[in-house]
Structure 1
């Protein structure tokens, strides 16, 4: 890939500034920018430019999630149950019900956001979770992450890497619990060997711009 020149970027910017607002959906622009940091928006703009000024991305197809088989709490950490300030063992599972209702995900429509406000460099996972909820994001759940990891050839994950340069993201739609009663998100990451792996990230730990979540707009 040849790196774009300043004049090429300037040409696109000038064309955008000269674009007539007739037929441009202001609500759509607001939905695509409100609540997202400069880094979040820049990632999508780069994908738009790298795709020949087209947002029609040729993905591997929708990821199918078999909801008849729940998230594997034997292989992975168990799901947090009950309130945040409880012991995580009793009560309702802390999962995004809207994500659980979905049986397929089109990752051309998935957003990867760190939920940082302009000028911020870090937030905790708990703060990030509250911002997702306040923004009404549909937070992809841990079962979706399990299916991504176990998909043959990890096709969707590799497409995300090739298309959006995504190498790390967490699934904020499910809060997990370790044996000491701490709260975690499942995350997936691309290693130097070209394969994807999974691990957990403590919600009390800091997140930076390189630690986005996978979400859908509400």
Structure 2
């Protein structure tokens, strides 16, 4: 597999437990391949593992790639390696971008549904939809504000009118079902793009079926480590 040598230009906390990494070409003469919203790269980690991470920057930027990694204590060591061993200045090998979660059929209104760190590919989609002047909204579900990544960008004037943040600890109604409530308020022909933990996606898929919405209008990506 062809790989690219990338330098970690900087890393910073995007939220509690989530580190963001900006990657630049290790050589000045290396032109980065373009990518579309929803794409990911495979990172070759210092401990020998390989992990897929969604590109979460603005796809119109061609000078760098950005990823965000949630530290999973119960995982198989990929996220811990990124958090504990990868620092600014390090060189990492990555695969060129690949897209298994493309943003298609954007003629009508789109709704983006993010659970936790699943906001990463949807942030790139939001930038793309904004640039195309497509009608959209992004609903971000998180346990607390402190665990919601990239709130500074999502709160900026460019995107803030399109963003709705739903935090578990700010919900005072124990019987509320915010996911189903959001879906129930959408037009029948809306297309949804969702990313997040498996439980989040399973609940969304079941709610989508209960509301008799077209199955081919629901697009999703689940997080799973590469074998």
TM-score (normalised: structure 1): 0.26
TM-score (normalised: structure 2): 0.26
Q: Which has the higher strand share?
A: 2
Q: Which has the higher helix share?
A: 1
